[in-house]
Amino acid sequence: SSFTEKAFTIQEIDWGGGGGGGGPEEGATSQEKLSLLKNVHSGLPDPLPHPVKRSVIEGDYLYFHYGCDGQDDRGWGCGYRTVQTLSSWLRMNGFPARGPAPTLPRIQQALVSMQDKPDSFRGSRDWIGTFEASLVLDFIHDVPCKLVHVRGGAAELERVAAEELHRHFHVHGSPVMMGGDRDNSSKGIVGVCTGAGGSHLLVVDPHYYGGPPERAELQRRGWVAWRRVSSLDQDSFYNLCMPQTARKST
């Protein structure tokens, strides 16, 4: 069954050759194909037996995580990995990128090219958040992003975050990047499920580090999981980066 699962869930992505501006930082994968898991949330049971509302993404994406391309970015790269996951969805759902898939050096170069960051940002270990993510996705895919600021506190998180996500997945269907101040760990959100007792978010966590993972292992260890909104840091604000991918014809 492991072979069958891999055959359907792993996809190769072409990093292209050169052009990353990263020198040695770019790692050995710059001119190779990288195998990544696809749709790592598939098969995960819903958190509620009878939800009032359930909204999940449409279309395929690839799971990017710490070290997945040979570059050890633990402690600073989670925002970049979430951008790569969102970018993979865009590429696979009709929003082609300008050039090869975005490596970490290419993401840094894009922000320098837009004059959002100084030249010293290239090759650094400076993290990026939802604002930088919106700039990069617009730059690479020509897709604008909506940024939503959610103040801390249970009521605000339940009301604003859950409703914004339900609306987004219904209209746009694309994955969302979430980050905050006290809770500054970037995470991908690919679904939301709401019941009488509150809402759960379907989180794709980029902080996994290790060998090529199995989808079942990621789910068992909680790297891909439904998490109660009430489990988020109540003293942290959160920002949502939502790619606006609805077709003009709809």
Q: Tell me which residues are annotated as active site.
A: 78, 205, 207
Cα–Cα distance for residue pair 9/86, rounded to 1 Å: 17
Helix (H, G, I), strand (E, B) or coil at 190: strand
Secondary structure percentages of the chain, helix, strand, coil, to 5: 35, 20, 45
- Relative to beta strand 10-14, strand 198-204 is unpaired
Reference 226, options 37, 9, 5, 41; nearest CA is 41
Cα–Cα distance for residue pair 236/151, rounded to 1 Å: 7
Tokens representing 225 are 């999981």
Task: Please report, in angstroms and rounded to a whole number, the separation of the first and last CA atoms in the chain.
Answer: 40
CB-based burial of residue 140 (10 Å sphere; 0-12 exposed, 13-18 middle, 19+ buried)?
A: buried
Contact 35, 121 (CB under 8 A): no
Contact 199, 158 (CB under 8 A): yes
Contact 146, 137 (CB under 8 A): no
Neighbouring residues of 247: CB distance < 8 A, sequence distance ≥ 6: none
Reference 63, options 38, 86, 29; nearest CA is 38
